[in-house]
Amino acid sequence: AIQLTQSPSSLSASVGDRVTITCRASQGISSALAWYQQKPGKAPKLLIYDASSLESGVPSRFSGSGSGTDFTLTISSLQPEDFATYYCQQFNSYPRRFTFGPGTKVDIK
Amino acid sequence: QVQLQQWGAGLLKPSETLSLTCAVYGGSFSGYYWSWIRQPPGKGLEWIGEINHSGSTNYNPSLKSRVTISVDTSKNQFSLKLSSVTAADTAVYYCARGLGSSGYYPFYYYYYYMDVWGKGTTVTVSS
């Protein structure tokens, strides 16, 4: 099964900072990757799908890039409401199975 | 706007069976896969399994022996049963809709991601 790793596992940043989170797949997955944001006590929220497509309603300061094995989620200017944990997710077709990365926690510096 | 509403027992004793249900409102039930995901306290997300409107299921191999996911298309609902629970099954359980997507860059892919989530149900297993 394809495994996902994320780096860093946590980071501290200030409002206005540019933040970059990396997700690496153990083998090539083309652009088949999604990113989620989860705030404490809340369900995950879809941010990015197809590696770089912004989900409707998600602020444009969020962007995704990458393909193959290396992917990046970027927050261009961190806002107070962006302090959360971010997960990447991929999908195996045969057999069908979802896999999430271990998460990256973004907190206030 | 599709919404998922979930419910079920929140406190179980070891060896009991966890039972949760998720209802789909405001959208089509067919054409999607419907998943259960869990998150132990302070940990990451673990996919449990999924079902489609036809009743076709897929499970995480690590839980397969204890999991049953079923569907009631007349009510636009799907349910999770997890047998023989232990303290390790203590978690927040989420239901979610799986949406398929495909593309060709840099090579053809077809995969699923989760675009709509329930609010979660906290399940605690304790004697």
Which of A50, A89, A96 is best to mutate for the B interface (most B CBs within 10 A)? A96
CA-CA distance, B42 to B54, in Å (whole number)? 35
Taking every pair of C-alpha atoms in chain A, what is the biggest distance, in angstroms? 42
Q: What is the pLDDT of residues B37-48, one digit of tens each?
A: 999 999 999 999
Percentage, residues of chain B above pLDDT 90: 99
The rounded distance, in Å, linking the Cα atoms of B63 and B46 is: 10
Q: What is the pLDDT of residues B89-127, one digit of tens each?
A: 999 999 999 999 999 989 999 999 999 999 999 999 999
Q: Do the Cβ atoms of A29 and B111 come within 8 Å?
A: yes
Mean pLDDT of A92-102: 94
DSSP secondary structure string, B92-106?
A: EEEEEEEEEEEE-SS
Q: Which two tokens mark B44?
A: 């990451």
Distances (CA, A) of A7 to A4, A61, A88, A103: 10, 20, 11, 8
CB B125 within 8 A of CB B14: yes
Measured in angstroms, the CA of A107 and the nearest CA of chain B are apart by 15
Mean pLDDT, chain A, rounded, equals: 97
Q: Is residue A38 very low, low, confident or very high in pLDDT (cuts 50, 70, 90)?
A: very high
- Which of A65-69's residues contact partners 24+ apart within 8 Å by CB, and which partners? A66/A23, A66/A31, A66/A33, A67/A30, A67/A31, A67/B105, A67/B106, A68/A25, A68/A28, A68/A29, A68/A30, A68/B106, A69/A24, A69/A25, A69/A26, A69/A27, A69/A28, A69/A29
User: Residue A45: how many CB atoms within 10 A of its CB?
Assistant: 18
Q: Does the pLDDT of residue A54 top 90, yes or no?
A: yes
Report CB contact under 8 Å: B111, A91: yes
pLDDT score for A14: 96
| DSSP conformational letter for B32 | S
Query: pLDDT-derived band of residue A1, with 50, 70 and 90 as boundaries?
Result: confident
Residue B65 gets which letter from DSSP? Answer: G
Contact between A100 and A85 under an 8 Å Cβ cutoff? The reply is no
Identify all chain A residues contacting B33, using CB atoms and an 8 Å cutoff: 96
Amino acid at B123: V
Partner-chain residue, chosen from B47, B101, B103, that has the shortest CB–CB distance to A98:
B47
Residues of chain B found within 8 Å of residue A102, distances taken between Cβ atoms: 44
Q: Note whether A51 and A65 are within 8 A (CB).
A: yes
| Residues 6+ away with beta carbon under 8 Å from A68 | A25, A28, A29, A30, B106
pLDDT at residue A109, rounded to an integer: 87
Residues of A with CB below 8 A from B22's CB? Answer: none
Exposure of B1 in the CB half-sphere (CA atoms within 13 A) = 6
The 3-state DSSP class for residue B54 equals coil
